[in-house]
Amino acid sequence: MSSTAEVVICGAGIAGISLAHQLARVHGMRRVVLIDERPPLTLTSDKSSEAYRNWWPGPDDSMIRLMNRSIDLLEELAEASGNRFLMNRRGYLWCTADPVRAEDYREHGLKAAAEGAGELRIHTGRMSDPDYRPHTADGWKDQPEGADLILEDMLLQQAFPYLGRDIFAALHTRRCGWLSGQQLGMELLERARAAGVEIVEGRVEAVETTGGRVSGVRISGRSGNRSFATGRFVDAAGPMLAEVARLLDVELPVFSELHLKTSFEDHLGVVPRDLPFLIWDDPRRLDWTPEEREALAESEATRRLTKTLPAGAHMRPEGRRHVLLLWPYHTGAVAETFPLEIPDEYTEICLRGLTRVLPGLEAYVERLPKPFVDGGYYTKTRENRPLACPLPVEGAFAHGALSGYGLMASSATAELCAAHITGATLPTYAPAFDLTRYEDPAYLARVESWGEDGQL
């Protein structure tokens, strides 16, 4: 069976759905086809911790501008849908016991403010300090912008009495919070469908070209093989972004890391329900008994747990009684295979990694709760910036490499990708998310000295 389409999108995760929504609802395209071999939003997009932030102090302001735009769009949709996806604005609370790290916070905060993330307010206990406005648990409106750097013990204890006593500084970044990723995806999907987007079950097997430009897409599915005549194809295949690009003989500079998350019922009630997104931002060497340490050191797989582990254990409450914990202490480029390999000790390690910032969690270290662990891949570029751009084959585009920020970024990256597809005016940050950036030797040299934007 053969049909025609204005655009065929491969992948009905948040990237593909946001793009279909943009093309149909904003640009009025009538024949947008979204193809996925799985039910929508079930591979990576429902595994996220669902947080968002405009806090991306980077070597330049591109990520902050992209995220500000994305959060603008999320807020518009929250307003239009009666906040169906429960967007809150509790902020991220980055905590350190290290005075040197506190100085980094000051430096990064000033840099982020200059790049558009909002002002930095520093609280040291002086009369002349600015006011500190506590967050509210629900909703996103009427909350401060920018960030509060809290260097004063008394304020820290007043605002967050449950935190560990050896915290030296906390940075509360304010245009940040979380939402329901599933509800966000469903809202976008329903709106896209109402505007005529067709969802087709199937696996994209081939992208055909004629005279060097896209001319069709072939899929296989439960109801047989099908093909679409189309002049435009978008690769939004999440962890399979590179694999799908190879159907066009294009090699994308992306790789994947495995990221896990664990959740359990907080039956002891040790996690305050109005907690912000909480991050322990110091490297951590875990406390083990000599026997435990010896046992862990015996195996190649667990030896690293006896060493100092990287900063970045984080958590948040979930719903009425649950809690989510994550700690990317185990990252590195891996092949994208399913089902995921989940180490037995993941929950215990996350708990141990977070006891210093939230000592109440100690109660669970001795008696581990029954957890649910899942996760997925952060598919990313070397400098951790997405791809929302044309590919070297005419009529082909990429929308992906959304790493650990696809829920928060995809509203703006979809808008950008849609502008490329329709020929609409591009935002000024477009070149930062284009594949052609890697053709610029000066850019490549700069990237070498950057490190990554964002650690979580």
Q: Which two tokens stand for residue 257?
A: 């890391």
Q: Is 146 in the site for ligand FAD (CB under 6 A)?
A: no
Q: By CB under 6 A, name the one of 20, 35, 113, 323 that touches ligand FAD.
A: 35
Do the strands 213-221 and 284-285 form a parallel or antiparallel pair, or are they unpaired? Answer: unpaired
Q: Which is nearer to ligand FAD, 152 or 453 (CB)?
A: 453
- Applying the rule CB under 6 A, the residues between 159 and 198 that interact with ligand FAD are none
Which residue spans within 174-296 are E strands per DSSP? 176-178, 198-201, 203-210, 213-221, 224-230, 233-235, 255-265, 277-280, 284-285
51 binds ligand FAD per the rule CB under 6 A? yes
User: Is 312 near ligand FAD (CB under 6 A)?
Assistant: no
Using the rule CB under 6 A, which residue among 8, 20, 36, 389 binds ligand FAD?
36
Residues 255-294 that bind ligand FAD (CB under 6 A): 259-261
For residues 236 and 19, the answer to whether their CB atoms sit within 8 Å is: yes
Does 87 participate in binding ligand FAD (rule CB under 6 A)?
Answer: no
**122-141 positions binding ligand FAD, by CB under 6 A:** none
Indicate the length of the chain as a whole number: 456
The residues, any chain, with a CB within 8 Å of residue 38's CB and separated by 6 or more, are: 12
Task: Considering only residues 207 through 266, tell me which ones interact with ligand FAD, judged by CB under 6 A.
Answer: 236-240, 244, 259-261
Which of 13, 57, 216, 395 binds ligand FAD (CB under 6 A)? It is 13
Binding flags for ligand FAD, 395-434, as an x/- string (CB under 6 A): -----x-xxxxxxx--------------------------
Q: Shortest gap between Cβ of 46 and ligand FAD (angstroms)?
A: 8
Tokens of 452: 């990554």
Q: Does 375 bind ligand FAD (CB under 6 A)?
A: yes
Furthest-apart CA atoms within the chain: distance in Å: 74
Q: Minimum Å distance from CB 97 to ligand FAD?
A: 24
12 binds ligand FAD (CB under 6 A): yes
Provide, rounded to whole angstroms, the least separation between the CB of residue 68 and ligand FAD. Answer: 14
Query: Could you tell me the smallest distance in angstroms from the CB atom of residue 48 to ligand FAD?
Result: 3
Q: Is 203 a binder of ligand FAD (CB under 6 A)?
A: yes
| Residue nearer to ligand FAD on the CB measure, 13 or 276 | 13
Residue 102 near residue 96 (C-beta atoms within 8 A) = yes
Give the interface segment with ligand FAD, choosing from 5-13, 108-116, 295-303, 346-354 (CB under 6 A).
Answer: 5-13
CA gap 303, 294 in Å, rounded: 9
Residue 43 in contact with ligand FAD, rule: CB under 6 A: yes
**245 touches 19 (CB < 8 A):** no
- Residue 340, class by beta-carbon neighbours within 10 Å (0-12 exposed, 13-18 middle, 19+ buried)? middle
C-alpha distances in Å from residue 332, one per residue of 239, 382, 428: 15, 12, 32
* Dihedral sign, Cα of residue 265, residue 270, residue 275, residue 277: negative
CA distance 338 to 10: 19
**Conformational region of residue 192, where left means phi above 0, alpha means psi within -120 to 50, and beta covers everything else:** alpha
Q: Which residues bind ligand FAD (CB under 6 A)?
A: 10-16, 35-38, 43-45, 47-52, 203-204, 236-240, 244, 259-261, 375-376, 400, 402-408
